[in-house]
Every structure is written in C-alpha cells, then in structure tokens.
Chain A
C-alpha cells in the first residue's frame, strides 16, 4: 500500500464503505453474515423476474388477474413474493388508451419484492424531477412514444404504498404459455416506461 501521508483529498466512497464496515464489525454492532444475506437477497434472489411471473400469471389466468387488480399485495403473495418495500402493493393496468408510469419524486421508493432494487434511471434526478411535469416528453426520451389519445397517469410513490404496472399483453402472443411469456416481460414495462414487445 502506498503511503500518501495527510492528503487533502477526501477518501473515496469505496474506502469510506470499507472503513464503516470495519468500525461496526470490530465492535460487534453488525453481523457480517447478516450483511452478506442482505446483499445476496437483492443481488440474486429478488429481482424483476418475480414481477414478470406475476404479470405472466395475470395474462394467462383471468381469475388471478382480477385478484391482482383488487388486492395486489395478497395476489403477489400467492406466488411467494413479499417483504420490505412491498407491504402494500397496488397494481394498475395499462391499456391501449391508458398508460400508468411510476416514480418516487422524494427518494426512489420501488416495489422491491417484485422488481428488486431500482435501476439507475429510476434513481436519476432527471427522471424523478421531470416525469411528474412532462411525462410524455420523458417517455419519448426513453424510447416510448405514446399517441396523443393515450391518457397518462403518473404514480408518485410518496407514501409506503408501492405501485406495479400490469403491462398490456402484446398481440401475437396468444399461443404462448405462461412460462414462455415470462422472459418477454421487462422491468421497464412494469414501471411503465416501456411496452412489452412480442418476440
């Protein structure tokens, strides 16, 4: 290790992370195993694949779709998904004439149990600030151009309510099974900044 000796430059955030970890573990204030479990959960087991399974089920099972729109939290739990940032999930449906898009202008609240941790664009100040002021322009910048007759409803997640978008099932997928539909369903479509495309 090089000795820099009293540099004026502040330590990097990576180094400060390591420092905080040391300070807390050496006093027994945090358990490294608990820390690892949190990381593993959000890096490997909880992600948008969960949400895709929910959407694919709703597309193929009309009774499930009804339950999902009536009580999102309970229907999502039927598939085994629950946990922090998902205590009360409301599912809203996108149609050819109505387009929901989700944001958190105050931080980056996001339905973790079904979508995992938010992607960088969702946390970006430009998205947080602008999508409640000029959503049509923002969506177009993100590659989604909506016809003028499509009504836009922005969902600002300012409380502990979490929003999940049920995207439109693309035409030409009628012959696909639930399992075949899952890989088509993107995180972006379940936040409302994209449509699901047919394969």
Chain B
C-alpha cells in the first residue's frame, strides 16, 4: 500500500533533531509498557510472532494514531488494531476501560469470540533457505517494479520504476507481502540494490548513493 509509513523522500517534516547521547530508552513511564504490550498483543492476535502483520497494522493507522502518539503510542495503537481485527478485544474496549480508569462510568463492550488467523510459521524468525539460485547477480543492473499493491509491501515508493545495481545478494527471507496477510512465507532472496541519487531525485540532487534491500519479486531486469 502507499501508506503514511512510506516516508522516504517525502518533504515537509522540518529539520531533524540533533542526537542526545544521554537520551533514555523510554522517555516516559507508559512507554515501557506500551512497547512490551505491543509485542505481546501482536503475538496474541496472530497466534505467533508475525512482525510483517504488525508492521501492516502500523501502516494502516490513521494520521493521528500514527504520528501524534509518537513511536510507542503508534506501537500501542497497532497492537490494539490487531487485537480488535482478530476479535480478541471488542472495538472500543480499550477506550471504555481507559475512561473507567479515570473515573468515568462507561459500559464496557462484551468480550467477543476470538477469530485468530490460520498461521503456522515453518521456523522462528524470517531467514529461510530456498532451493533455487538467485535470479540476479552482483553488479547486474535491475529495476524496481513500478507497482502499487493494496496490501503490505516493503518496496518503497521512492525507488519504484528506478534502476540500480545489485551490490550484495542477501540470504532468503520470508516475503512480507504475503506473510503479513497470513498467506504463506514464499521465501525469496533479498538484494541490496544501489541507486544513484540523480536517478531518484534528478540532476540537481546531492551526489550520493542509497542501497535498498529488495525481495526478488520486487525486481526486474532492465534489458
């Protein structure tokens, strides 16, 4: 999808924040629990670890839920979205409980019948082995497909349709595009493809290169 999370090259965000070496891991107390709860909520909702499904939940949050609550708020909101989508929690259950916690007297929705996805990862993590050889070689010129898909993808908009050169062939990994939707692992080699800044941003761009790590099916030959 072409969602809010796909930020590469977008403009209007202002200056970056200078690093603070003394920054704490969790600036506020609630962020500790929000972080852990998001991880555990995702596991409960998927019936296992599925980082791709969690990232897809994050990218489907609305603007306020994605940006305004900050990084850990976004994680909490993503966890809640997964729990309600799989009917572990009723919509509005968290808000109702939160209102009761602050002294309101709100009726909480009944607990629904959970509807967990059919999900059975073949191994822990996302590294997999595949029997085939890599389709592209180091040094080969390739093009990122110019496609927009309705679901999850890790092919960022800013490289779609652009050509680059394979720098490193990385091991095969579970394909996020299908795994996020519980539609299978479809492991593929990943390619670190190096793009020239002028190919992406035009002749006046700062001179530099950027590598983007792309699953094999994101790429096509330029010939």
Render B159-177 as a binary contact track against A, CB cut-off 8 A, 1 for contact: 0000000001011011010
A24 and B171 in contact, given A161-B192, A187-B21 (Cβ under 8 angstroms): no
Residues of B within 8 A of A128 (CB): 7-8
Q: Does B130 contact A (CB under 8 A)?
A: no
B33 CB contacts on chain A under 8 angstroms: 17-18, 21, 35, 39
| Interface pair B208/A106, CB less than 8 Å apart | no
In the complex, chain A residues whose CB is within 8 Å of the CB of B106: 6
- CB-CB contacts of A122-133 with B at 8 A, as 1s and 0s? 011111111111
Find the A residue at minimum CB distance from B197. Answer: A133
| Cβ of A198 under 8 Å from chain B | no
Mark each residue of chain A from 72 to 101: 1 if its CB lies under 8 Å from any CB of chain B, else 0. 000000000000000110100000000000
CA distance A1 to B98 in the complex (A): 13
Residues of B within 8 A of A156 (CB): 8, 156, 210-213
Size of the B side of the interface (Cβ < 8 Å), in residues, is 88
List residues of chain B with CB within 8 A of the CB of A90. Answer: 168, 170, 192
CA–CA, A153 and B1, complex, Å = 27
Chain A residues near B173 (CB, 8 Å)?
88, 159-161
| Residues in A whose Cβ lies below 8 Å from that of B40 | 24, 30, 34-35, 38
Residue from the list A21, A108, A132 in contact with B158, Cβ < 8 A? A132
Asked whether A16 lies within 8 Å of B168 as measured between CB atoms, the reply is no
Band of interface residues on A? 35 or more
Closest to A123 in B: B71
Interface 1/0s, chain B 24-60, versus A by CB < 8 A? 0111111011111101110010000000000100110
A15 and B101 contact, CB distance less than 8 A: yes
* Structural contact, A30 and B213, CB atoms closer than 8 A: no
Please state if A13 and B170 are interface contacts (CB–CB under 8 Å). no
Nearest CB in chain B: distance from A106 CB, A: 6
Q: Which of A57-65, A112-120, A168-176 contacts B (4 or more CB under 8 A)?
A: A112-120
CA–CA, A20 and B127, complex, Å = 32
Distance in Å from the Cβ of A176 to the closest Cβ of chain B? 20
**A–B Cβ pairs within 8 angstroms, 6 of them:** A24-B37, A87-B127, A119-B19, A141-B15, A158-B155, A160-B173
Which 4 A-B residue pairings sit nearest by Cβ, starting from the closest? Answer: A105-B8, A11-B98, A19-B97, A159-B213
